[in-house]
Amino acid sequence: MGQAKKRGSREERMAKAIDRADVFKPHSVEYRRMLDAAVKEAEQLGLTPLPNVRANRSVSDDTVEAVRDLCNKEFLSRLQRVIPGYWGASCQTLATHLFAWLRIAGYDVDLVVGEVNIQGNLEYDATLENIRDEFRAPPTEGSQRLHMWITLGDDVIVDPGLAHRLIKYYRVPEHVLDSILVHRADEFGTRLAVHHWPMLVGADFAAKTNSVNPFDLLDKYKSALR
């Protein structure tokens, strides 16, 4: 009698099912694989708390739309008060504030650091080794070579700093973009030729390496609601 074929873990089966559903969306399939590796990297580096988001945990279209509306209607004016003017060089400040507001709104989001490829151009020359080094020995000065955005898990990307870069450097018409971009990875790739490469997931990275601590912001905004 032959040996039964191993079915794999529940998470592995879920990941394969999602990939099969998105067979014609290769950017989303690849993004999920990279996000899964970025979550595992957080475990290896010992970030605390560890991220709860998962690449193979499906996020509905209704949730994506709700987050897009919340960001561009309720939170947009708040971010404009935090950073008036050009946003294209302030991804970390923007992302940490938006992270806190989305958490308070009930969304289990987390921060992601990595690289973004726009029309074949690497915007930051980020590497996983550099990110590891910065977490282990946080820099005391100078800019960090990385991009930061927000994840809900799955293939959903919330990127508050990208629209201004697309308009300024890549001549994307302003009227076709939301101020805060909230899309699935495949939509970023097919509509805008933008590919996010997640390397590490976890707000603890920003807390350890950035002057703006996302957990402090979360506590501050929660206190203001009491």
For residue 120, pLDDT beyond 80: yes
Tell whether the model's pLDDT for residue 2 goes beyond 90.
no
Residue 96 in tokens: 């940490």
Domains in the chain, number = 1
Q: Does residue 20 sit within a domain?
A: no
- Please report whether residue 31 resides in a domain: yes
Q: Does residue 55 fall inside a structural domain?
A: yes
> What whole-number percentage of the chain has pLDDT above 90?
83
- pLDDT tens digits for 176-203? 999 999 999 999 999 999 999 999 999 9
How big is the chain by its Cα radius of gyration, in Å? 18
- What tens digit of pLDDT does each residue of 99-114 get? 999 999 999 999 999 9
Residues 6+ apart with CB under 8 A from 144: 92, 134, 209, 210
Q: Angle CA(18)–CA(182)–CA(187) in degrees, nearest 5?
A: 55
Q: What is the pTM of this model?
A: 0.89
SS3 191: helix
**Domain span at 201:** 26-225
pLDDT tens digits for 60-100?
A: 999 999 999 999 999 999 999 999 999 999 999 999 999 99
**Domain assignment of residue 19, yes or no:** no
Residue 8: inside a domain: no
| pLDDT band, very low/low/confident/very high, at 5 (cuts 50, 70, 90) | very low
Identify whether 217 is part of a domain: yes
Enumerate the H helices of the chain as residue ranges: 10-21, 26-45, 61-69, 76-82, 91-104, 128-136, 162-170, 185-192, 203-209, 214-225
